Amino acid sequence: MGNRILVLYGSYRSDRMGIRLAHFVVNGLRSRGDDVTFIDAKAVGLPMLDRMYKEHPKGQAPEVLETLAAQIRDADGFVFVTGEYNWGVQPGLKNLTDHFLEEWFWRPAAIVSYSAGRFSGARAATAWHGTLSEMGMVVISSTIAVGPIAQTLSAEGEPTGEGGKALERSFPRFADDLSWWVEAAKAQRARKPPPY
C-alpha cells in the first residue's frame, strides 16, 4: 500500500465547483498507488470552533473529532484543496483545520487552489502556506492552481480543454514532490523522534 494521504476540501456552497478538483486529486493520487482518504468539511459538519480537540478531556471529545484526530495522526501527508473567497481562504476548511494542532505536526502538506476566474485561487494558496506552516506542516513548493475551473474540469472531474491538458501535465510533478517529502518525513521520524 502507498502513502496514506488525506485530501481535505472545504466548500459549503450549494453549487460546489471545487469538488471536481478534489475528485481529480483523489483519483490521481490513488492511480499512483497511494492510500487516499477524502475529508469533505461540509460532510463532516463541524460547528464553528469553540473548543479544539486537545481542549476536551482525554477520551471525551465528540466522536467526529476523535475520528478526525485519528485520521490526521495516521496520515503521512495532506493535500488541501481550496477555493478563494474575497482574496482569502474558505471558512469551512479553515474551521475544520483549526480544530486540531499537534495532530498535523511533522508531515508535509500540499496546496491545490481554484477559482472561477483566471487567478486560480492563488491568493488563497498564499494565505494557506503561512497557516499550514504555523500549524507544524512542511508545505511543499509544488502547487496546482486551476482557473477558470468550469472550463478545466467536467462535472465528473475529468480534464477538459487546454486548461485540463495543463492540469494533467502538472499533476505528476506535484504528486512526485509530495511523495518525496512524505518519504523524507517518514524516514526522519523513524531515525529520530520529533523534538516536541
For the stretch 131-155, what's the b/e string if a residue is b when 16 or more beta carbons lie within 10 angstroms of its beta carbon? Answer: bbeebbbebbebbbbbbbbeebbee
Residue 30 lies in a domain: yes
End-to-end CA distance of the chain: give it in Å, rounded: 29
- What's the CA gap between 82 and 186, in Å, rounded? 26
Give the mean model confidence (pLDDT) for residues 94-107. 97
Specify if 67 maps to a domain.
yes
Over the stretch 155-183, which tens digit does the pLDDT of each residue have? 999 999 999 999 999 999 999 999 999 99
Cα separation, 6 vs 139, in Å, equals 14
63 part of a folded domain = yes
Residue 153 lies in a domain: yes
Number of structural domains the chain divides into: 1
H or E stretch covering 108: strand 108-114
Separation in Å, CA 99 to CA 50, 96, 127: 9, 6, 18
Q: Which ranges of 79-156 would DSSP assign to H, the alpha helix?
A: 91-98, 122-134
Per-residue model confidence (pLDDT) at position 5: 98
CATH number of residue 162's parent domain: 3.40.50.360
Q: Is 196 within the bounds of a domain? A: no
Mean pLDDT on 110-125: 94
Confidence of residue 57 (pLDDT cuts 50, 70, 90): very high
184, containing H or E segment:
helix 161-191
Nearest alpha carbon to residue 6 among 28, 33, 31, 35? 35
pTM of the model: 0.96
Whether the ω angle into residue 148 lies within 30 degrees of 0, i.e. cis, is yes
Mind listing the pLDDT tens digit for each residue in 134-143?
Answer: 999 999 999 9
User: Helix (H, G, I), strand (E, B), or coil: what is residue 78?
Assistant: strand
Which residue has cell 476566474? 117
Domain that holds residue 117: 4-191
Give the residue from 104, 122, 149 showing the smallest Cα distance to 13. Answer: 149
